[in-house]
Amino acid sequence: RRWGKAWSPEQIAQRLAIDFPDDETMRISHEAIYQALFVQGRGALRRELTACLRTGRALRTPRARVGLRGKGFVSSEIMISQRPAEADDRAVPGHWEGDLILGLGSSAIGTLVERTTRFTMLLHLPRLDGHGEAPRSRNGPALAGHGAEAVRDAITRTIATLPTELRRSLTWDQGAEMAQHAALKIDSGIQVYFCDPQSPWQRGTNENTNGLLRQYFPKGTDLSAHSAATIAAVAATLNARPRKALGWKTPAEALDQWLMKRETDPVATTV
């Protein structure tokens, strides 16, 4: 019964070997559990079974099919595999991960998280005038507020508040909201990289932060109801939360520590 309380199939499969070390009949792979849930379940039974998964998804996308997807505005030279090694090892601040969290009625808030310090900045993406009143023109802006132009402008305004040394790179998924990444690079001076299709784990820091943000912005709620001041207050709250990964310092303290070091030893912080 405890395994039906938000344990993943992989956790169940691994735990069986620990709980029943001498019983070889108590073994099953996580793939077999997935198959039982996604293939054997039917109708009401299927809904009941998939509800046991943390994601609640009723369908599973084969990984072989993942590589076939992609956006036309993404080229090989700006894929995550080309991102500097210093971003991967978190040695130098200034490498960011970004995403949108979505709410009711196609409302959205943008999220930017710095990989080294976990410092978070949120993008206010209000709906544009005319949203919900009439069909927009074919080539007009996305009235929901998170079209490519709106996201480009919001990131530019936010990133511009940072020192140049903290604008090294930004990693995003291949969402259409980043179609103007080339203009973003010119406007903000930050190099944009893209994750592989359907690979959110490549932005793990951002994904974790988005999960924390759902405490303040629950799924299924209208995110456009939050003002820029409210969003800034939530970001400040998150940046004041101690993190185990930072030795229990807060993201704000970690960033301030780096900025102070930059003032006293500018050469060391640009290496």
pLDDT at 61 over 90: no
Mean model confidence pLDDT for the chain:
83
Strand-pairing partners, residue 109, are 101, 124
pLDDT band at 68 (very low <50, low <70, confident <90, very high): very low
Could you tell me if 103 and 9 lie in one domain? no
Among residues 54, 42, 65, 63, which one has the least CA distance to residue 12?
54
Residue at a domain's end among 63, 84, 99: 63
Could you tell me if 138 and 256 lie in one domain? yes
Ramachandran angles phi, psi of 78, nearest 5°: -120, 20
* Residue 174 included in any domain: yes
Domain that holds residue 150: 76-270
Tens of pLDDT, residue by residue over 158-188, are: 999 999 999 999 999 999 999 999 999 999 9
Mean pLDDT of the region 89-101: 95
Could you tell me if 88 and 49 lie in one domain? no
Cβ-count burial of 118 within 10 angstroms (0-12 exposed, 13-18 middle, 19+ buried)? Answer: buried
Could you tell me if 40 and 149 lie in one domain? no
Could you tell me if 111 and 214 lie in one domain? yes
Could you tell me if 48 and 169 lie in one domain? no
d(CA 74, CA 19): 47
Could you tell me if 144 and 36 lie in one domain? no
d(CA 130, CA 144): 9
* Residue 202 included in any domain: yes
Q: Which residue has the higher pLDDT, 137 or 193?
A: 193
Amino acid 271 reads: V
Are 170 and 112 in contact by the 8 Å Cβ rule? The answer is yes
Among residues 206, 202, 199, which one has the least CA distance to residue 111?
206
Residue at a domain's end among 37, 63, 89: 63
* Residue 19 included in any domain: yes
Q: What is the CATH number of the domain that holds 180?
A: 3.30.420.10
* Residue 155 included in any domain: yes
* Residue 69 included in any domain: no
Query: Looking at 37-41, 227-231, 234-238, which range is the least confident one?
Result: 37-41
Angle at 110 between CA 105 and CA 112, to 5 degrees: 160
Among residues 243, 185, 214, which one has the least CA distance to residue 111?
214
**In the chain, what percentage of residues exceed pLDDT 90?**
57
pLDDT at 130 over 60: no
Could you tell me if 10 and 83 lie in one domain? no
Q: Which runs of consecutive H residues, i.e. helices, occur in the chain?
A: 9-19, 30-35, 43-50, 63-66, 85-88, 148-159, 181-188, 204-213, 228-239, 251-264, 266-270
Could you tell me if 29 and 90 lie in one domain? no
Task: Record the tokens describing residue 199, joined without a space.
Answer: 């690979």
Are 117 and 255 in contact by the 8 Å Cβ rule? The answer is yes
Could you tell me if 138 and 248 lie in one domain? yes
Residue at a domain's end among 63, 87, 113: 63
Amino acid 149 reads: E
Could you tell me if 156 and 182 lie in one domain? yes
Could you tell me if 140 and 224 lie in one domain? yes
* Residue 90 included in any domain: yes
